[in-house]
Amino acid sequence: MNGTLEHTEFRGTPNACSSTDAPPFYWLISLSLGVAAIAGNGLVILANVMKKVKRNPTNCIITNLASVDFLSGVSLILFHTLPTLSKPAGRGVGAQLFCRLYCSDYPLWALLNSSIFNLLLVTVDRYLCVIRPFCHKDVFGRRSVLTTCIIMTWLLGMISCSYIILSWVVSSDRDDMCVVDFSLPPWFFLWGGFWSLFGMLLLPTLLMLIAYAHISYTLSRMPPHSKGRRLQKRVTVSCFAVLSVFFICWLPDQMFFFLFSLNLPSLPQLSLGSWTYHLVLNLGYANSCLNPLLYAFFNPNYRRVFKSMLGRGTVAVSTGRVN
């Protein structure tokens, strides 16, 4: 294709996934983000495994979110820090799978999308807990329903970015390299950009904004000295912090990819191998590092648990619902 959809390489020895060649020292940024995601989310998982927190639907969903973000950190290190694996020789099934599943970073993107669906599930959980408490108990109180919802976040994450698999092929010039197939129809890339921006960012943001606004409004109408009214400020700040961080982290990356997919001649500088793209991409990755802070560390119950786990407290804490 003409215009912006061009294969860009950096100087140096090309690896098998040539279209993903990154600027120098990019691996160090990825390593830092990966370690931060593993450490933060690992503490949340450990707190639940050690039964330091009460087993309830909210904590189960948060643990699932932490598990997804933990694996995102592991995948980030595997795909963007370690040396690229050698591609199977030729153009057979093994070579195609290597290009489409490994070079495309599909596992990483599937996990990142799954994290978004987990954020939506947390929103639904909190919304029903405040607005329809009896419905919440009836729905999420059933283990089968909760398990199904959690499994769906993983499946939807894999399905929502499956188009990435189609965009990577063995290079027609060199069969030892994988490249993005820019011979695909323009609408393919346009659909990918549109879905990433609107389907995986703007729509989830809008749904979470509506839900959290309704939660805040409902709590504000409770009696002044009620428990719900006392929780209003903390719940409001926590919910909108989650929403703001999610939106700020992913907007630059999704806007960049959307503009790239438009293939506008007036924007020839847009490249998936540029410094700019890798910087905004890492900002999106940072969301997986910040989720445990927003959902756990900023919660006083979890803070007491972590202090106990780290030896700063003498009493094991069993937390209840996370608001």
Spatial neighbors of 137 by CB under 8 A, at least 6 apart, are none
pLDDT per residue, tens digit, the chain (323 aa), is: 333 344 333 323 346 776 555 666 778 888 999 999 999 899 889 888 877 777 788 888 989 999 999 999 999 999 888 888 888 888 889 999 999 999 889 999 999 999 999 999 989 998 898 888 888 888 888 889 999 999 999 999 999 999 999 988 888 877 778 888 878 888 888 898 899 999 999 999 999 999 988 988 888 787 777 766 666 666 677 778 888 999 999 999 999 888 888 876 666 566 766 778 888 888 999 999 998 888 666 677 777 777 777 666 544 444 444 33
Residue 315 lies in a domain: no
**Which residues is 319 bridged to in the sheet?**
53
Residue 314 lies in a domain: no
- Side-chain-side CA neighbours of 297 within 13 Å: the count stands at 14
The 3 state secondary structure assigned to the chain is: CCCCCCCCCCCCCCCCEHHHCCCCCHHHHHHHHHHHHHHHHHHHHHHHHCCCECCCHHHHHHHHHHHHHHHHHHHHHHHHCCCCCCCCCCCCHHHHHHHHHHHCCHHHHHHHHHHHHHHHHHHHHHHHHHHCHHHHHHHHCCHHHHHHHHHHHHHHHHHHCCHHHHCEEECCCCCCCEEECCCCCHHHHHHHHHHHHHHHHHHHHHHHHHHHHHHHHHHHCCCCCCHHHHHHHHHHHHHHHHHHHHHHHHHHHHHHHHHHHHCCCCCCCCCCCCHHHHHHHHHHHHHHHHHHHHHHHCCHHHHHHHHHHCCCCCCCCCECCCC
Residue 15 lies in a domain: no
Distance CA(257)–CA(109), nearest Å, equals: 14
Residue 179 — φ and ψ, nearest 5°?
-140, 160
How many domains does one find in the chain?
Answer: 1
Tokens of 138: 């009836």
Tokens of 312: 């700063």
Distance from first CA to last CA of the chain, Å, rounded?
50
Residue 163 lies in a domain: yes
CA–CA distances in Å: residue 263 to residues 5, 56, 91, 187, 201: 6, 48, 29, 10, 21
Q: 38 is in which domain, residue-wise?
A: 24-309
Residue 316 lies in a domain: no
Tokens of 102: 């490994």
CA–CA distances in Å: residue 248 to residues 8, 231, 254, 255, 320: 27, 26, 11, 11, 30
What local confidence, expressed as pLDDT, does residue 73 receive? 94
Distance CA(157)–CA(153), nearest Å, equals: 6
Residue 192 lies in a domain: yes
Q: Residue 112: which of 70, 60, 163, 167 has the closest Cα? A: 70
Residue 173 lies in a domain: yes
The enclosing domain of 300 has a CATH number of 1.20.1070.10
State which amino acid sits at residue 235. V
Residue with tokens 């599930």: 121
pTM of the predicted protein model? 0.85
Residue 321 lies in a domain: no
